[in-house]
Amino acid sequence: MEVGFLGLGIMGKAMSMNLLKNGFKVTVWNRTLSKCNELVAHGASIGKTPAEVINKCTITIAMLSDPAAALSVVLDKDGVLEQICGGKGYIDMSTVDPETSCKINEAITSKGGRFLEAPVSGSKQPAETGQLVILAAGDKALYEAAIPAFDILGKKSFFLGQVGNGAKMKLVVNMIMGSMMNAFSEGLTLADRSGLNPHDLLDVLDLGAIANPMFKGKGPAMLQNNYSPAFPLKHQQKDMRLALALGDENSVPMPVAAASNEAFKKARSMGLGDMDFSAVFETLKVLKHSS
């Protein structure tokens, strides 16, 4: 099976590499074409533009940074829309708002193409090990055609119905995750400042009802000031913003998520946007130094 892949950031690179290692023929594109070189060394072909990738492949996957990038790749010169047509499918696995997904769907289907949104739950390590959770919505036939690829990329795929539902599910998941990370950071800080060993807190949490892979995986690194990016903080803050907008649309009060968003914004103002989203922990250290 041959697929196209647009976007080779932290996630896209790992995902396209998995496809290559599992026997897929993959044609890749990235705005900075030099990022394609490692994939080419593992057997990938390069498309010089998104349109060129679409022209070559029956199914093309995109994993891009934000709504603006997702729209640009489709609508700009040499973009997806120039070559999409009947018999071709486009799968956007980026995290965007429902409105952006619907705009892309309208553009693709107006040219006879098929569209599936399929954002993922999971960051760098799950992407590398094929353990993502795929949240798909849109064209059911395209979803079924993509199952062989999804089975390589993820441990579970969900089909959630109409376009927009995948985006909504991903924003809800990431809103919960961002809020949890802020509460976790506050807990680590409170333990430390009140004379407890925060490593003991990690052990206690891991044995209780709120034990979870995020606390177990992120906690030790946070206590060592290690914020190597698995999921960049700037993207987490973008998702909080989009989730809050979804809350506004549905008249859902979200005071916890709103406070968490402010913490991520503070971290971005401190220059931490490219670090892992767990670097929001650093905002509490600033408060310590000023007290």
- Residues noted as catalytic: 170
At 239 the three-state DSSP class reads: helix
At 260 the three-state DSSP class reads: helix
Contact between 136 and 166 (Cβ < 8 Å): yes
End-to-end CA distance of the chain: 60
Give the single-character DSSP code of 280. G
Contact between 171 and 267 (Cβ < 8 Å): no
Residue type present at position 165:
N
Whats the size of the chain, residue-wise?
291
Query: Which of 193, 184, 185 is closest to 288 using CA atoms?
Result: 193
Contact between 228 and 276 (Cβ < 8 Å): yes
- C-alpha–C-alpha distance, residues 101 and 113, integer Å: 14
Contact between 14 and 61 (Cβ < 8 Å): no
Backbone angles phi, psi at 15, to 5 degrees: -70, -45
Contact between 283 and 238 (Cβ < 8 Å): no
Burial class (CB in 10 A: 0-12, 13-18, 19+), 200: exposed
Burial class (CB in 10 A: 0-12, 13-18, 19+), 91: buried
Interstrand relation of 59-62 and 45-46 (parallel, antiparallel or unpaired)? unpaired
